[in-house]
């Protein structure tokens, strides 16, 4: 276990002026979404994640439930966060719109089990602050996956002019807790929040699903105002994610719709702004894992999510 977290060199310090120049030159030549991808590649953001180191934690986890955002409890192998692309603030169609991206888990969670097992109030009940997330069988962690997709998605949305905030960027030792993740979106008055995950279900279970908030009104949880717009957001994200990645909706949840409604997730129950989760695939299935560990596929995943968000925000 050698995750170095806060000491890990900020990616921008590793960029050479020559690479920045290349990115700027590309920016002058290529429009739109392709530009975002090329700039990201030029800045060293792709790096096919490939399998990370397998640690003792990765092979000693408890059995995972059949699926679900906070139920995929396999400990994750620590993988340093990928380089990020810091796209300049855009002036596109999303100017004035605020998007919060919530990368599920945190690479440091596995080393802070006491802290993340602390119970927090999610309105309907109490549950763990956060979980470690799952990993592929070869040790590529969900936490590394969610951060990488989040960075790609941020670059794409910033190109469109959106203000984008991440709930965590491996810039804290663990967490945030699920209740704080919700509060970050609320405090930002986000127009849309997407929580990024990959599932830890059984082999043979494949495909993506988007999780929508169910209607809950209990304690601090009141989703009545966001159920409708969150469903709109989720349908658009699911449709565009499927189209751009070519992945099929989950074959084990959602009856082929790619949509699942849940009332037990604190990150959704405590949200006061439109919010969905996306489980991009099943890390424990070898065919899905081959996709999830591909940088090119993760770029398509980010593109699909981005297009769904853009459609939602343009109304």
Instruction: State how far the Cα of 25 lies from the Cα of 117, in Å rounded to an integer.
Output: 48
For 47, other C-beta atoms within 10 Å of its C-beta total: 11
CB 66 → Zn ion: shortest distance, Å?
14
Q: Which is nearer to Zn ion, 183 or 197 (CB)?
A: 197
Instruction: State how far the Cα of 134 lies from the Cα of 58, in Å rounded to an integer.
Output: 8
Tell me: does residue 197 bind Zn ion (CB under 5 A).
Answer: yes
Q: Which is nearer to Zn ion, 97 or 298 (CB)?
A: 298
Q: Which is nearer to Zn ion, 23 or 76 (CB)?
A: 76
Give the residue nearest to Zn ion (CB): 197
Segment contacting Zn ion by CB under 5 A, of 101-109, 181-189, 204-212, 270-278: 101-109
Q: Are 54 and 77 within 8 A, CB to CB?
A: yes
For 30, other C-beta atoms within 10 Å of its C-beta total: 14
Q: How many residues bind Zn ion (CB under 5 A)?
A: 3
Instruction: State how far the Cα of 11 lies from the Cα of 204, in Å rounded to an integer.
Output: 36
CB 92 → Zn ion: shortest distance, Å?
30
Tell me: does residue 104 bind Zn ion (CB under 5 A).
Answer: yes
Tell me: does residue 107 bind Zn ion (CB under 5 A).
Answer: no
Tell me: does residue 284 bind Zn ion (CB under 5 A).
Answer: no
Helix-, strand-, coil-residue percentages of the chain, each rounded to 5: 40, 15, 45
Q: Which residues are catalytic?
A: 279
For residue 218, the surrounding DSSP H or E stretch is strand 217-218
Tell me: does residue 68 bind Zn ion (CB under 5 A).
Answer: no
Residues 116-155 touching Zn ion, rule: CB under 5 A, are 133
Q: Are 292 and 283 within 8 A, CB to CB?
A: yes
Q: Are 178 and 120 within 8 A, CB to CB?
A: yes
Enumerate residues 6+ apart whose C-beta is below 8 A from 265.
69, 70, 122, 178, 211, 213, 277
CB 69 → Zn ion: shortest distance, Å?
5
CB 315 → Zn ion: shortest distance, Å?
29
Q: Which is nearer to Zn ion, 133 or 139 (CB)?
A: 133
Q: Which is nearer to Zn ion, 36 or 200 (CB)?
A: 200
Strands across the sheet containing 209-213: 163-166, 98-103, 192-199, 275-282, 209-213, 259-262
Q: Can you give the binding site for Zn ion, defined by CB under 5 A?
A: 104, 133, 197
């Amino acid at each position: 276990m050698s995750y170095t977290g806060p000491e890990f060199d900020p990616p921008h310090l590793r960029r050479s002026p020559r690479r920045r120049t290349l990115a700027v030159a590309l920016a002058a030549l290529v429009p739109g979404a392709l530009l975002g991808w090329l700039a990201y590649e030029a800045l060293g953001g792709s790096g096919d994640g490939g399998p990370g180191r397998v640690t003792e934690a990765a092979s000693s986890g408890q059995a995972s439930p059949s699926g679900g955002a906070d139920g995929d409890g396999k400990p994750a192998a620590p993988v340093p966060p990928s380089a990020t692309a810091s796209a300049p603030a855009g002036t596109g169609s999303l100017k004035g719109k605020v998007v919060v991206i919530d990368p599920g888990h945190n690479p440091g969670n596995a080393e802070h089990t006491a802290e993340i097992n602390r119970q927090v109030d999610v309105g309907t009940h109490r549950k763990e602050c956060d979980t470690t997330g799952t990993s592929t069988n070869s040790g590529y962690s969900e936490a590394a996956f969610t951060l990488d997709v989040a960075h790609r998605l941020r670059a794409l949305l910033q190109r469109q002019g959106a203000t984008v905030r991440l709930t965590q960027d491996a810039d804290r030792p663990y967490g945030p807790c699920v209740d704080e993740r919700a509060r970050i979106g609320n405090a930002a008055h986000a127009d849309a929040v997407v929580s990024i995950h990959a599932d830890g279900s059984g082999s043979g279970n494949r495909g993506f699903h988007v999780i929508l908030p169910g209607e809950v009104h209990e304690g601090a949880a009141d989703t009545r105002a966001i159920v409708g717009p969150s469903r709109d957001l989720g349908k658009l994200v699911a449709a565009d994610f499927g189209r751009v990645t070519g992945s099929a909706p989950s074959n084990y949840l959602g009856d082929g719709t790619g949509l699942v409604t849940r009332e037990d997730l604190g990150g959704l129950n405590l949200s006061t702004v439109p919010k969905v989760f996306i489980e991009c695939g099943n890390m424990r299935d070898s065919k899905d894992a081959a996709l999830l560990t591909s940088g090119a596929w993760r770029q398509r995943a980010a593109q699909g999510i981005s297009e769904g968000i853009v459609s939602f925000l343009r109304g």
